[in-house]
Structure 1
Amino acid sequence: MRFAIPFIVVDLHHLLLAGLPAHLCENAKAINRDRASSSLKAVFGAHIASAFNFKIELENIILVALRTFAFSHSPGHFQTWLRVGIGGCHDMRQTMTSRVQTFTPPNTPKPIGPYSHIAKVGEHIWIGGTAGFDPATGTLTGADVGAQTRRIFESFKVMLEAVSSDLNHVTHINVFLLHMSDFEAMNAAYVAMMGDHRPARTVVSVRELPKPGVLLTMNLTAVTRKR
């Protein structure tokens, strides 16, 4: 029994290293090996300590127990594998299927950066910054804020429909105006497109927008029609 105790302590300590970055794991492994060897020499002498580099059956017992625990306590989207070995770092690898779905539907303006137009988690929807570009031509729809506002909402309709939603299920809209003097003209076009639905809204004036001629951009949050 005394012989097994040092190995139990060492193995559990190594298991705590699971998931550490490789360089930290290697450093901790070296420190622990030195401590364990010193402890074994003090208790059993050099001959027993030299057996430290060999695998023993105990680690298989611990491995089975930990695998059982990991699979029974981990979330549904996770699978965990533990590889246990006294002579090397332990490797804990996790794979996760993301709950976040992303979309850039057809018949919407091409994103101008590394992003998708839509992100969706369950019934919750986020649509990123959208300007008044015509998806068919790639050019701005008009040089006035009213025309660009209407074009943005036309794009919103297509995006929302792609994720089983619509303008009546919008919960919040952010409006980024290049000129706050366009506030009333934007409001008129906004009401014409939104009808009686009045989600929460934030309007801010910005110093500049990414593309020449763009007078405003909008983004929004929404929910699906059905849960």
Structure 2
Amino acid sequence: MNSYQSDEAPEPVGLYPHARKVGNLLFLSGIGPRERGKQSIPGVTLNEQGDVVSYDISVQCHAVFKNVRAVLEASGAKWEHLVDVTVFLTNMKEDFHTFNAIYAEYFGDVQPCRTTVEVTALPTPIAIELKCIAAIG
């Protein structure tokens, strides 16, 4: 088994790699929209207590897709290799329509299997996280 880290994707918030290859499958750890080396999160405004005051799901979607691409490329894979995507949203009612439209821009020709679920919270103050599997040679 090989583990991979990307110099472009945000640092993991725990003891785990960005990705791990087993056979011809590449499993990506949960990836959000954070930026490497920064405390701020794209599209998120926090108050002094660290609570989310506002967020822009479209900015977060573009950032998370950028991070997934960075991890894939650092692992020797391509966007087109994605076969399964699990999406975690913290507000399905408000964000699903916007997310789904942006998702279609990125995945129009690739069309991996997808599951989208709403969760109460994610480990950092983000509104979206992706868990992906890619098939590579």
Residue 157 (str. 1) matches residue 69 (str. 2): yes
Q: Which amino acid aligns with 2:58?
A: G
Q: Over residues 98-156 of structure 1, what are the superposed CA-to-partner deviations in whole Å (9 max), with x where a residue is unaligned?
A: xx111111111010011111011232100011111122534211121111111111111
TM-score by length of 1: 0.53
Q: Name the structure 2 match of 1:171.
A: 83
| SS of corresponding position for 2:38 | coil
**RMSD of aligned alpha carbons:** 1.3
Q: CA deviation at 1:163?
A: 2.0
Residue 193 (str. 1) matches residue 106 (str. 2): yes
Structure 2 unaligned blocks of 5 or more: 44-54
Q: Which amino acid aligns with 2:103?
A: Y
How many matched pairs? Answer: 125
Q: In structure 1, how many angstroms separate the alpha carbons of the residues matched to 2:79 and 2:101? A: 16
Relative CO higher for 1 or 2, CA cutoff 8 Å, sep ≥ 6? Answer: 2
Alignment of 1:87-98 (within 5 A): none
Q: Over residues 2-58 of structure 1, what are the superposed CA-to-partner deviations in whole Å (9 max), with x where a residue is unaligned?
A: xxxxxxxxxxxxxxxxxxxxxxxxxxxxxxxxxxxxxxxxxxxxxxxxxxxxxxxxx
Question: Rg larger in 1 or in 2?
Answer: 1
Q: Structure 1 or 2: larger helix share?
A: 1
Q: Over residues 160-195 of structure 1, what are the superposed CA-to-partner deviations in whole Å (9 max), with x where a residue is unaligned?
A: 112221111100000011011111111111112223
Q: Which of 118, 122, 129 matches 2:19?
A: 118
Q: In structure 2, how many angstroms separate the alpha carbons of the residues matched to 1:117 and 1:165? A: 13
Q: Structure 1 or 2: larger strand share?
A: 2
Q: Which amino acid aligns with 1:109?
A: P
| SS of corresponding position for 1:175 | strand
List structure 1 runs of 4+ shifted beyond 6 angstroms. Answer: none
Q: Name the structure 2 match of 1:219.
A: 131
Q: Name the structure 1 match of 2:116.
A: 203
Kept in 2, the 8 Å contact 1:175–1:217? The answer is yes
Kept in 1, the 8 Å contact 2:32–2:67? The answer is no
Q: Name the structure 2 match of 1:102.
A: 3
Kept in 1, the 8 Å contact 2:8–2:36? The answer is yes
TM-score by length of 2: 0.85
Q: In structure 2, how many angstroms separate the alpha carbons of the residues matched to 1:173 and 1:138? A: 26
